[in-house]
């Protein structure tokens, strides 16, 4: 299959529009890659400042001038989004020579760079601890979604700046990106147990829960009785949070945020 057939459809957008889309996708936890024209030499279609953005979900906006150069740039962005090339900043020179099917002799210097999305974090439970924790996580690089089946706890704007979803996590969140974190803090121990089991089965990179050490021991014992492997049982971080003797919701939120910063830095 020709390389062109696999390239995404590009939606025209201004430089500001490209930056807006990339910021929106990043806030949603979606990785991407950006191309920015730095310089043009000779008869090249590219203009300094032009931008082209490709998200890992194949959203693509902007332009670097069209034609053969844009096709090559799209290939480079696609390889970065697909994990086929290293995610690092690189200035590349694209020449309009015979290898691109053009003989005008111009060239363009273009910055190819990764645009990392915020780390996805799903919080199950919208109670007092969640209300205190979610905004802190959003400030330290997480794209936070809070879900709870209780309508009164998920009204729009109740936790400013946070996506609130009413419903059952195992019905509505099966497509949530599991490269991120699952934090369980419901109002019911049985629901906590079921959510942790769902998180392990779903393959979340991080599974944590709020609770005492005694609750943590009971949780792991139930996991063992249900056939979860020792490796999975060890993956459950409970009680979650840095050991700062936190008691109140705001204190617990600080402890959780500290641990989540440490985890994100290690990934």
Rounded Cα gap, residues 263 and 249, in angstroms: 21
Residues 215 and 138 in one domain: yes
pLDDT (0 to 100) of residue 99: 55
Q: Domain holding 126: CATH number?
A: 3.40.50.720
pLDDT tens-place string over residues 152-185: 999 999 999 999 999 999 999 999 999 999 999 9
- Domain span at 34: 3-115
pLDDT (0 to 100) of residue 103: 57
Residues 136 and 253 in one domain: yes
Residues 95 and 150 in one domain: no
Residues 157 and 257 in one domain: yes
Domain boundary, last residue among 115, 134, 154: 115
Interstrand relation of 206-209 and 60-62 (parallel, antiparallel or unpaired): unpaired
Nearest CA to 190 out of 241, 124, 140 is that of 124
Residues 174 and 215 in one domain: yes
Res 6 pLDDT > 90:
no
Residues 170 and 229 in one domain: yes
pLDDT (0 to 100) of residue 43: 80
Residues 80 and 127 in one domain: no
pLDDT tens-place string over residues 34-45: 999 999 998 888
pLDDT (0 to 100) of residue 101: 59
Helices 189-202 and 213-225 pack at an angle, to 10 degrees, of 60
Its pTM stands at: 0.79
Contact, 36 vs 94, CB < 8 A?
Answer: no
Rounded Cα gap, residues 258 and 242, in angstroms: 6
Residues 23 and 51 in one domain: yes
- Number of compact structural domains in the chain: 2
Residues 103 and 184 in one domain: no
Rounded Cα gap, residues 192 and 218, in angstroms: 12
pLDDT (0 to 100) of residue 7: 85
> Average model confidence (pLDDT) for the chain?
92
Rounded Cα gap, residues 73 and 112, in angstroms: 8
Residues 104 and 134 in one domain: no
Contact, 86 vs 77, CB < 8 A?
Answer: no
pLDDT tens-place string over residues 77-111: 999 999 888 899 999 998 886 555 555 668 899 99
Structure tokens at 255: 């402890």
Residues 154 and 223 in one domain: yes
Section 237-255 average pLDDT: 96
Residues 105 and 193 in one domain: no
Section 32-59 average pLDDT: 94
Respond yes or no on whether the N-terminal peptide bond of residue 239 is cis (omega within 30° of 0).
yes
pLDDT (0 to 100) of residue 98: 57
pLDDT (0 to 100) of residue 100: 58
Contact, 73 vs 54, CB < 8 A?
Answer: no
Rounded Cα gap, residues 100 and 127, in angstroms: 58
Domain boundary, last residue among 115, 133, 159: 115
């Amino acid at each position: 299959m020709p390389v062109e057939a696999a390239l995404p459809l590009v939606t025209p957008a201004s430089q500001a529009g490209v930056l807006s889309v990339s910021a929106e996708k990043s806030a949603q936890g979606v990785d991407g890659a950006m191309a920015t024209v730095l310089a043009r030499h000779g008869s090249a279609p590219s203009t300094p400042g032009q931008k082209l953005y490709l998200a890992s979900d194949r959203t693509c906006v902007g332009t670097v001038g069209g034609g053969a150069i844009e096709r090559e740039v799209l290939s480079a962005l696609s390889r970065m989004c697909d994990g086929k090339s290293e995610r690092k900043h690189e200035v590349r020179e694209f020449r309009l020579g015979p290898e691109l099917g053009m003989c005008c002799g111009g060239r363009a210097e273009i910055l190819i760079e990764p645009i990392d999305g915020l780390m996805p974090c799903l919080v199950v439970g919208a109670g007092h601890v969640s209300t205190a924790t979610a905004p802190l996580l959003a400030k330290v690089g997480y794209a936070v979604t809070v879900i709870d089946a209780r309508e009164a706890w998920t009204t729009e704007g109740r936790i400013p700046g946070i996506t609130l979803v009413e419903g059952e996590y195992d019905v509505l969140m099966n497509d949530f990106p599991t490269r991120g974190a699952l934090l369980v803090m419901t109002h019911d121990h049985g629901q906590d147990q079921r959510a942790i089991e769902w998180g392990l089965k779903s393959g979340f990179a991080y599974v944590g829960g709020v609770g005492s050490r005694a609750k943590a021991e009971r949780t792991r014992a139930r996991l063992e009785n249900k056939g979860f492997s020792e490796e999975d049982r060890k993956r459950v971080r409970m009680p979650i949070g840095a050991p700062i003797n936190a008691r109140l919701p705001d204190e617990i939120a600080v402890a959780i945020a500290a641990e989540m910063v440490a985890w994100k830095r290690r990934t």
